[in-house]
Amino acid sequence: MILLKMILKNAFRRKVRTGLTVLAFAIAILAFGLLRTVIGAWYAGVESSSANRLITRNAVSLIFPLPLSYYEKIRHAEGVTSVSYGNWFGGIYISEKNFFANFAIQPETYLGLYPEYILPEDQKEAFLRDRRGFVAGRKLAERFGWDIGDVVTLKGTIYPGNWDFELKGIYRGRTQNTDETQFFFHWQYLNETIRQTMPSMADKVGFYLIGVRDPNHSADVAREIDAMFRNSPAETLTETEAAFIMGFISMSQAIIQVINVVSIVVIIIILAVVANTMAMTTRERIGEYAVLKTLGYTGLHITILIVGEALVITFLGSLLGIALTYPAAAGFKQGLSAFFPIFNIERSTIWYDLGIAGAVGFAASFIPAVQAVRIRIADGLRRIG
């Protein structure tokens, strides 16, 4: 108890120095937490993917379509429970800065394969009845102030023209990691229109979404599907939903690596700041430690005083940084919702922050503690005054 009181008094003896160090540590933890959350947001789609879903696309590239005639063959493959399909539409709402994912889908089967999209039954029925209808995620509807019955016009990029849709339903996610920023409309509406304007692109889909009975046999199902269309004009590549999403993430791997490096550099810098603070503190108190030794305090007691003071500073900074991370993340989430629809602080990030506080506290105080323990009482007493 006496040591604890001494640690707390020592930590706040130089209030300005301690305050600035705590603030610097808090800023570092804030930066680290946000960087880790950005990385987590990049991988959020993988985390929320289902092991029971496969995606089949053109083996050459996703930009090349597949014939609609593949549907029946895939549906009868061994181990397949359900099949749906869709196209990336790539429409623009008002201006290019209003980016969001928009897909033409086969509604009944597609929504059945995504039970995590919670859509009220009356809204679902209204959507299924109207081919010009669409459903939007809760966050997307809130972003643009859409309400049921609103007419929304998207400007086509892949499929030119202005496309009018009526909002029939707003879905919400079953968990906080469910994407609530997507826009879905009827594939039939798209197909009927392009059949008149671009006949060569009609009756083709961008991808097939496949539900499997047993995720342990997903690899076998994928091989069987790809074997069906081997040596055809449009060969396929079938992979798990997680692998499909990872394919997109891998394109940004260099950016992710840079973010990882920056987060480590932030910790190294704050380690140097805390180590400098502890070194200055220890030099100033060498005489005091010498007096404590004459009173019977051992090297272990001196070490506990120095390490404890460092831990008080780092944990205070860490707690302050964690407290600042939540409102900062909320601001990022609102401003970057188009790019990171899922931007949540993971529990592991908080544990990382606390772990860093402990590691930096111990590392920054190690050398000063060794120096204080090794100094002879006579040498320490000479520094008094």
Q: Rounded distance, CA 208 to CA 24, Å?
A: 51
Of residues 290 and 114, more confidence is placed in: 114
Of residues 176 and 146, more confidence is placed in: 146
Say if residue 257 is in the same domain as residue 217. no
pLDDT digits (tens, 9 = 90+) for 301-355: 888 888 888 888 999 999 999 999 888 888 877 766 656 667 778 888 899 999 9
Say if residue 217 is in the same domain as residue 326. no
Say if residue 226 is in the same domain as residue 79. yes
The two structure tokens encoding residue 206:
């961008």
How confident is the model at residue 44, as a pLDDT? 66
Mean pLDDT for all residues in the chain: 86
What does the angle CA 45 – CA 210 – CA 73 come to, to the nearest 5 degrees?
155
DSSP-H helix ranges across the chain: 2-11, 15-42, 44-47, 70-75, 107-113, 121-129, 138-144, 187-197, 218-228, 241-249, 253-284, 286-294, 299-335, 347-374, 377-382
The answer to whether residue 316 is domain-embedded is yes
Confidence of residue 9 (pLDDT cuts 50, 70, 90): confident
Identity of residue 227: A
Q: Which residue range(s) make up the domain with 15?
A: 2-44+252-382
How confident is the model at residue 376, as a pLDDT? 79
Say if residue 262 is in the same domain as residue 368. yes
Identity of residue 299: G
- Write down which residue in 206, 234, 262 finishes a domain: 234
Say if residue 182 is in the same domain as residue 87. yes
pTM of the model: 0.74
Percent of the chain exceeding pLDDT 70 equals: 93
Say if residue 226 is in the same domain as residue 118. yes
Confidence of residue 384 (pLDDT cuts 50, 70, 90): low
The whole-number average pLDDT for the span 55-75 is: 91
Tokens 């008080």 sit at which residue? 312
- The answer to whether residue 124 scores a pLDDT higher than 80 is yes
Say if residue 323 is in the same domain as residue 209. no
How confident is the model at residue 298, as a pLDDT? 83
The answer to whether residue 50 is domain-embedded is no
> Coil, strand or helix: which one is 134?
strand
How confident is the model at residue 289, as a pLDDT? 73
The answer to whether residue 243 is domain-embedded is no
- The answer to whether residue 385 scores a pLDDT higher than 80 is no
* Cα dihedral 362, 365, 371, 376 sign: negative
> Residues, the chain, total?
385
Confidence of residue 383 (pLDDT cuts 50, 70, 90): low
Q: Rounded distance, CA 56 to CA 225, Å?
A: 8
Helical packing angle, 286-294 and 299-335, nearest 10°: 140
The answer to whether residue 77 is domain-embedded is yes
The answer to whether residue 54 is domain-embedded is no
pLDDT digits (tens, 9 = 90+) for 71-117: 999 999 999 999 999 999 989 998 878 888 999 999 999 999 999 99
Q: Rounded distance, CA 171 to CA 140, Å?
A: 10
User: What is the distance of C-alpha 127 from the center of its chain?
Assistant: 31
The answer to whether residue 165 is domain-embedded is yes
Say if residue 138 is in the same domain as residue 24. no
How confident is the model at residue 89, as a pLDDT? 93
The answer to whether residue 293 is domain-embedded is yes
Give the chain's domain count: 2
The answer to whether residue 53 is domain-embedded is no
The whole-number average pLDDT for the span 234-246 is: 87
Say if residue 132 is in the same domain as residue 204. yes
Say if residue 275 is in the same domain as residue 313. yes
Q: Rounded distance, CA 291 to CA 287, Å?
A: 6
pLDDT digits (tens, 9 = 90+) for 173-218: 988 888 889 999 999 999 999 988 888 888 999 999 999 999 888 8
How confident is the model at residue 12, as a pLDDT? 81
- Write down which residue in 205, 234, 263 finishes a domain: 234
- Write down which residue in 181, 203, 234 finishes a domain: 234
- The answer to whether residue 31 scores a pLDDT higher than 70 is yes
Give the other-Cβ count within 10 Å of 335's Cβ. Answer: 11
* Cα dihedral 129, 191, 205, 250 sign: negative
Say if residue 191 is in the same domain as residue 217. yes
Q: Rounded distance, CA 212 to CA 84, Å?
A: 12
How confident is the model at residue 108, as a pLDDT? 92
Say if residue 35 is in the same domain as residue 131. no
